Structure 1
Amino acid sequence: QLPHHNYIYFADSANAPYGNRSPEWIAERSLQICRYLLEQNCSAIVVACNTATAEAIAAIRSTLDIPIIGVEPGIKPAAMQSQNGVVGVLATEATLNSDKFNALLATLPQDCQFIKQAGAGLVPLIEAGQIETPEMHALLRSHLGPIQERGADTLVLGCTHYPFLKNIIRDIVGDSMELIDTSDAVVRQLVRQMDQQGISANPNTDAPSLSLLSTANANTLQTMAQRLLLRDLSQYTIYTETLKL
C-alpha cells in the first residue's frame, strides 16, 4: 500500500527472542533502536513486535515526535469471530504476562475463554530460517496441542514472527481453527497516520530503497526476507548492514 517509500527493517537478532527478557530491558532496548531509526530520518516507525509494543510503546511515543504504530495480538477480533467462545492465543511469555495484554483481555466478554500458550523456541527457529523442518513441526504440535484439546475454534497469532508458520499450523489443525493475524490492520493504521501527518514518499525518480539491518547477520536476514516474504523485491534497491548497537 506504500510502494514508493524507502524502508529500513531493523532486526535485533543478536538479542532475540525478546519474550524471555525483563520488561525494563525490553523498554530500554526498544527505545534505543527507535532513536537510532529517528537518526536515519525515519518519518514513521512500526514497532513490529508484540512484546516490544506491550512493554515499550508508551515510552517510545512519549519520547519521539513521529507516528509510532504498535502491534498487539488480535484477541478482540478473535472474540468476535469465535463461534464457540474458545480462543487460543499463541504468543511470547512476555506478551502474555504484560499489563497491556491483560488489560485488553479484561475488556472482552467474560463468556469468551482464552487459552494462553507461550510459543517458546519458535522465534529462534524462524530467525534461522528453519521453517519446514521436523523440529519446527514437533515444537508447533506441542504448543498447539493444549489449545486443540480445549476445543478452540480460533487461534490468535500473537507474535509478528508467527504468520510465517501459517502453512504449518494449517497442516496441524486443519480447518478446525480460524487464524487471526493483525498485520493488515497495522498497515491500514500506518497509512492512516501518514495521511493525517501529510507524510509523502520521496519524490525523486530513483528506485525506493529497502535497508535490511541486523545486529547478528544482515546477509542471513536478506536471504530470509526473500524467502519468507514470497514477493518480488526487484523494485527496491536493497542495502544490508550488520550493526553493533
Structure 2
Amino acid sequence: MTDARPLGLFDSGLGGVSVLREIRALLPGEDVIYCADSGYAPYGDKPLALIEARSLELCDFLLTQGAKALVIACNTATAAAAQAIRRQWPAVPVIGMEPAVKPATAATKTGVVGVLATSGTIESARFAALLDHFGQGVQVVTRPGQGLVEHVERGDFSSLALRDLLAGHLRCLTDAGADVIVLGCTHYVFLRPLAEQLLGPTIKLIDTGAAVARQVQRRLLEAGRLSDRSGGGRDAFWCSGDGARVTQALCALWPPGSTPQVLPASACMAGASALWPGVDIHEDC
C-alpha cells in the first residue's frame, strides 16, 4: 500500500531543514510540508509548557494540510512535547529525535563525550533518561549552545562573532577531554563546517539527521504510507515571524525559489503570553 500525502515536519526555526535534507536524500519521492516556528525561536530557553503548546498547534496545522506523518525535527520539542503529540494523535506516525549519545559512546576513545545542545534539551527528563540508558561507562559533558540558534536563524554561518562564540562552546567540551561531540540541536548541524575548522581532524562530530530519515522511512513502510514515486518530491515551507527574514536565511540552506508562506493566525497561539510573560506575539504570523 502507498500513500501520496505529504510528510509534516516542524522545528523552532530553520534548523530542521538539516533533517529535511536527509529525508529528501533518502526519500526523494515524498512531498514535505515544513513549518519553521521562527517567530518563537529559540525554543531552548522557553518554558516547557509553551514549547508543548506550540508543538501541538503546529502539528494540528500540519495535519489540516494533509500530513500523513509528523516529524519533530527538533531535539527540544521532542523532549517537551513528543508524548503529548502521540497522545493527541495516536493513529499518526510521530517521529522525534534525541541527541546521538548512543553512537557517541561507542565512538569515543578518551571515554569523554561532549554534548552541545540547548538548555531545554540538556535539562529535560528525556535527556536524563537517555544518559541513564546509554551513557553508562563514559563521562558525558554537556554545554548549552547559547546564542548559536540566533546566528543560524539570521543566515550567519561564518562571521567572526559566530566563530568566537562557537569556539568558546567547543573549547568547554574539548578542555574536559571530549574526543566526540554530539550536535544535539538541528540548527547546529549547519555550523558543522565551521566546527570542523575549529576542532581539526582529531575530534569527531555526530548528529542524528540521517538516523531520523531512516526512522521516517521505516515508520512509513510499517504503516503502508510510503509514496510510490522514486523522485519529484515537492517541498512547501511555512513560517511564523518575519517571513522576509526567514526567506533570506532559507535561501542559504535550500535550493533557490523556496519562499515560505506565513502561518495563519490560527496557528500562532494568541494565548502564548499566558505561558510565557513578555512573549512577542506574532498575531499575523
Pairwise same-fold verdict (TM > 0.5): yes
What secondary structure sits across from 1:179 in the alignment?
strand
Q: Distance in 1 between matches of 2:84 and 2:178?
A: 35
> 1:100: which partner in 2?
126
Question: CA separation in 2, counterparts of 1:154 and 1:239?
Answer: 36
Amino acid across the alignment from 1:122: L
Q: After superposition, where does 1:1-245 map in structure 2 within 5 Å?
A: 1-64=26-89, 65-201=91-227, 208-229=233-254, 232=255, 238=258, 240-243=260-263, 244=265, 245=268
TM-score using structure 2 length: 0.79
What is the RMSD of the two structures over their aligned residues, measured on CA atoms? 1.8
Residue deviations 1:160-183 (CA, integer Å, cap 9, x gap):
111100111011111121101110
The CA deviation at 1:109 is 4.7
- Number of matched residues? 238
Q: Tell me if the contact between 2:72 and 2:95 (Cα under 8 Å) persists in the aligned partners.
A: yes
Q: Distance in 1 between matches of 2:48 and 2:259?
A: 32
1:29 corresponds to which letter in structure 2? R
| 8 Å contact from structure 1 (residues 214, 241) kept in 2 | yes
The change in CA–CA distance for 1:6 and 1:108 in structure 2 (over 3 A counts) is: closer
TM-score, normalised to structure 1, is: 0.91
CA distance in 2 between partners of 1:77 and 1:57 (Å): 22
Distance in 1 separating the partners of 2:70 and 2:136: 34
Distance between the aligned counterparts of 1:60 and 1:131, measured in 2?
Answer: 32
Q: How far does residue 14 in structure 1 lie from its aligned partner after superposition? A: 0.6
Does the CA contact (< 8 Å) of 1:48 and 1:160 recur in 2?
yes
* 1:32, distance to aligned residue in structure 2 (A): 1.1
Structure 1: 5+ residue runs without aligned partners? none
Q: Residue type matched to 1:118 in 2?
A: P
Deviations 1:191-236 (A, max 9, x none): 0010111113377xx954311111023344344334224xx578xx
Q: % of aligned pairs identical?
A: 38
Equivalent-residue separation in structure 2 for 1:132 and 1:202 (angstroms)? 40
Q: Which amino acid aligns with 2:260?
A: T
- Taking the aligned partners of 2:135 and 2:166, their CA distance within structure 1 comes to 28
- Residues 117 and 185 of structure 2 are in contact (CA less than 8 Å); yes or no, is this contact kept in structure 1? yes
1:27–1:55 contact (8 Å) kept in structure 2 = yes
Q: Distance in 2 between matches of 1:133 and 1:153?
A: 25
- Counterpart of 1:184 in 2: which secondary structure? helix
Deviation at 1:13, TM superposition (A): 0.3
Change (3 A) 1:155 1:194: same
| Matches of 2:242 and 2:35, distance apart in 1 | 11
